Structure 1
Amino acid sequence: MNQAVDKNNLSQRELLILVADRQETMNQKMDKLSGDYIELHTRVTKLETRQQTIAAAWGVGSVILTIIINLLKFWL
């Protein structure tokens, strides 16, 4: 029912059918959007986890480098 409909000339039954059809279309679009949202949320979560892992690795590397530099200062 993609054509323009004059709602003033429709019976109550026809209006209910039209509303039900549009609601079904909206429900299908909402289901698709919900699926897209879940997919994007999963991707963002993976990226955040990767970012936190890389930040932790840099932190550990910095600590190790600081320890090595301090040991070299102590021995020299």
Structure 2
Amino acid sequence: MDEDKIYEGESVWRLSGYPIRLWVIALGGFLGLTVLLIFLMYRIGEEPLQFKLPADFSTPATEQASP
């Protein structure tokens, strides 16, 4: 495995066999998406979605229709 060789003067810190840089990128992306999701959930909860219902939605539509 030539790609796993560490050449002279080069040091690669590894965690579970993967470079630390890869862990930092993955963790940063995960935290970024988590913060974005929490922010979006907060915004949706702050301003509830407005669903417009008919004035009298207890009666079926067939009874409201006039011939």
Taking structure 1 as the reference length, what is the TM-score of the superposition? 0.45
What CA distance in whole angstroms lies between the structure 2 residues aligned with 1:45 and 1:36? 14
- The partner residue of 2:43 within 24, 38, 52 is 52
Over aligned residues, Cα RMSD in angstroms?
2.5
- The partner residue of 1:38 within 14, 29, 35 is 29
Larger strand proportion of the pair: 2
- The partner residue of 1:25 within 1, 7, 13 is 13
Unmatched runs of 5 consecutive residues or more in structure 2: 1-6, 51-67
In the TM superposition, residue 32 of structure 1 has moved relative to its aligned partner by: 0.5
- Count of residues in Structure 1 that have an aligned counterpart in Structure 2: 41
In the TM superposition, residue 44 of structure 1 has moved relative to its aligned partner by: 0.4
- Identity percentage of aligned residues: 5
Shift >3 Å, 4+ stretches:
none
What CA distance in whole angstroms lies between the structure 1 residues aligned with 2:13 and 2:45? 44
Larger helix proportion of the pair: 1
What CA distance in whole angstroms lies between the structure 2 residues aligned with 1:30 and 1:56? 39
